Amino acid sequence: MDILKFFTRVVVYLFSIICVLLTLLPLLKFSHWTIRIGDFPRVQIGVLCLILSLILAALRTFQITDLILVAALLCSALYQFYRIYPYTFIAAREVEASKTNDTSSNIKLLIANVLIENRDSEKLLSLIEEYDPDVILLAEVDGWWIEATKQLEERYPFTVLHPLDNAYGIAFFSKLELVSPRLRFLVEKDVPSVETEIKLRNGKIINFYGLHPRPPIPGEKLSSETRDAELLIAAKEIQGSDQPTIVAGDFNDVAWSETTRLFQRISGLLDARIGRGFYNTFHADHFFLRFPLDHVFQSNHFRLDEIQRLGSINSDHFPIFVSLTLESTADITQDEPESNEAEEKEANQKIEEVKE
C-alpha cells in the first residue's frame, strides 16, 4: 500500500507541476507555440488543478512539499477561473439583447470551418436551409467545397470565393448586397481574408472582415506571430472608425487569450459571449477538450438577437450562428473596450515583427 501511495504521489506531482507550468508560462509574452498552448485549455487546467488538490489531500501525507503544491494548485485554479469568468452566465453581458423587431436592420451570420478533408456537405447545407442566414463565411474550402456549395449562389448571389488546397481557402456568400468586396492577404501570401461593406435591408452600410489566420502549432507555425499580426492589423484598421463593423471567422485562438483580448481593446469591438457562455466550437469530436475558436465580434452599434453553436457538420469545428441588429441607441448604452499606451505599443510591435 505504501508503494501504491508513493507512485500515486509521483504521478500527482508530475501532473501538478505540468498544470502549474501551463498556468504560469502563458503569462510570458513569448509567441512560441509551447508557451501559447497554455492559453487554450483554461477550463480543463482549472478543473484538473482542483482534482489534483483533492487527491493530495486524500493521501494524508501532509508533507511540506504537498502543502506547497496544494497551494500552488489552488492558486492556479483560481487564476484559470478568473480568466474564464467573463464567459460565464454569471458575469455582466457585454452585448445587450436587441430592443427592436426591425428586421430591416438585422443581419444573421453563419460561420463554419468545414474541414478540408470533410466530404459531407449535406449537413452544412441542411443547417443553412434551417437557419437561413443572410451571410455565410466558410473556412478550409477547396475546389470540391466550392462545387458542393454552388447551389447556394441561387439564394446568395453576392460571393467572394477563393478555394485553396492548403486548408486556408475561404468562401463568403451573402443575400445582402456587397459593396467593394475584396480578397486580402494581410500577412501571408497563402492565407486569404475577406473585407467588404454590406448593405442592410434598410440601406445602411456596415463593414465586415472574415479572417482565418494560421495557428501556432507544429506542422503549421512554431510561433503565433503571424496569427497575432493578422488579427491586430484588422483591429488597427477598425480602431476609431464610426462605421458599424463585424469581424468573424476561425481565429485559431480562444476568446480569453491575451491576443484576442488585445484585439478587442485595439479594435473596440464587443463579444456577445461575455456574460452568456463559452460557445465552444472546437474540437467537435472531443467533448472534454473544446475551446471557443470561432468568433463573431461586433462594434457597439449592434445588439444581439441570438447566438447559437450549431450541430455537427462532420468537421472538427461546430458552426456558430449569430443574429445582430443595428440599433440607433446601442452605442450610447454599450461601452467599447479601450486600449492603453502599453497595449498600443504591444500591438504595433507585433505587427512590425512580421514585416521584418
How many helices (H) and strands (E) the chain has is answered by 10, 12
Coil, strand, or helix at residue 4?
helix
Structure confidence at residue 356 as a pLDDT band (50, 70, 90): low
Residues 36-52 have a mean pLDDT of: 96
Q: Tell me the mean pLDDT in the region 275-299.
A: 97
Q: Is residue 92 part of a domain?
A: no
pLDDT for residue 330 = 96
Q: At what angle do helices 64-84 and 2-24 cross, to 10 degrees?
A: 40
- For residue 93, being part of any structural domain is answered with no
CA distances from 1 to 5, 6, 59, 218, 286 (A): 6, 9, 11, 42, 35
Residues 58 and 138 in one domain: no
- What pLDDT, on a 0 to 100 scale, did the predictor assign at position 298? 99
Answer yes or no: is pLDDT of 291 > 80. yes
323: domain CATH number? Answer: 3.60.10.10
Q: pTM for the complete prediction?
A: 0.95
48 and 141 share one domain: no
Last residue of a domain, one of 44, 63, 87: 87
Handedness of CA 263, 264, 267, 271 (dihedral sign): positive
Inside any domain, residue 257:
yes
Q: Are residues 27 and 175 in the same domain?
A: no
The answer to whether the CB of 191 falls within 8 A of the CB of 185 is: yes
Rg (CA), the chain: 22
pLDDT of residue 282 exceeding 90? yes
| Tally of domains within the chain | 2
If asked whether residues 81 and 143 sit together in one domain, one would say no
Are 173 and 288 in a shared domain?
yes
Residues 25 and 169 in one domain: no
What letter would DSSP give residue 134? S
**Spatial distance between the Cα atoms of 311 and 297, rounded to a whole number of angstroms:** 21
Same domain, 110 and 77: no
For residues 56-81, average pLDDT: 91
Identify whether 162 is preceded by a cis peptide bond (ω within 30 of 0): no
Quick one: average pLDDT of 45-66?
90
Cell of 333: 448604452
Question: Is the domain of 37 the same as that of 162?
Answer: no
Q: 61 and 163 in one domain?
A: no
Q: Per-residue pLDDT for 145 more than 80?
A: yes
Residue-level pLDDT at 150 = 98
Q: Which of 62, 87, 112 is the last residue of a domain?
A: 87
User: Is residue 211 one of the residues assigned to a domain?
Assistant: yes
Q: Is residue 258 part of a domain?
A: yes
Average model confidence (pLDDT) across the chain: 96
149-200 pLDDT per residue, tens: 999 999 999 999 999 999 999 999 999 999 999 999 999 999 999 999 999 9
> C-alpha grid cell for residue 110?
453563419
Using the CB atoms, write b or e for 188-220: b if 16+ within 10 Å: beebbbbbbebebeeeeebbbbbbbbbbbeeee
160 or 287, which is more confident: 160
Q: Which residues 6+ apart lie within 8 Å of 212 measured at CB?
A: 113, 139, 140, 168, 170, 191, 193, 249, 250, 251, 252
Q: What is the mean pLDDT of residues 85-90?
A: 97
Q: Are residues 67 and 127 in the same domain?
A: no
Mean per-residue pLDDT for 257-275?
A: 97
Predicted local distance difference test score (pLDDT) of residue 65: 87
The more confidently predicted of residues 221 and 13 is: 13
Residue 97 lies in a domain: no
- Per-residue confidence band for 218, with pLDDT thresholds at 50, 70 and 90: confident
Among left, alpha and beta (phi > 0; psi -120 to 50; other), residue 314 is left
pLDDT per residue over 295-329, tens digit each? 999 999 999 999 999 999 999 999 999 999 999 99
Task: Confirm whether 254 is domain-assigned.
Answer: yes
> How many C-beta neighbours within 10 Å does residue 275 have?
17
Residue 94 lies in a domain: no
Range of the domain at 56: 2-87
Distance (Å, rounded) from C-alpha 29 to C-alpha 228?
12
Compute the distance between CA of residue 90 and CA of residue 190 in angstroms, rounded to an integer.
Answer: 41
Split at pLDDT 50, 70, 90, the class of 61 is confident
Query: What span, in angstroms and rounded, lies between the C-alpha atoms of 294 and 113?
Result: 8
Is pLDDT above 80 for 48?
yes
Question: How much of the chain exceeds pLDDT 70, in percent?
Answer: 99
Q: Check whether residue 237 and residue 127 sit in a common domain.
A: yes
Same domain, 54 and 119: no
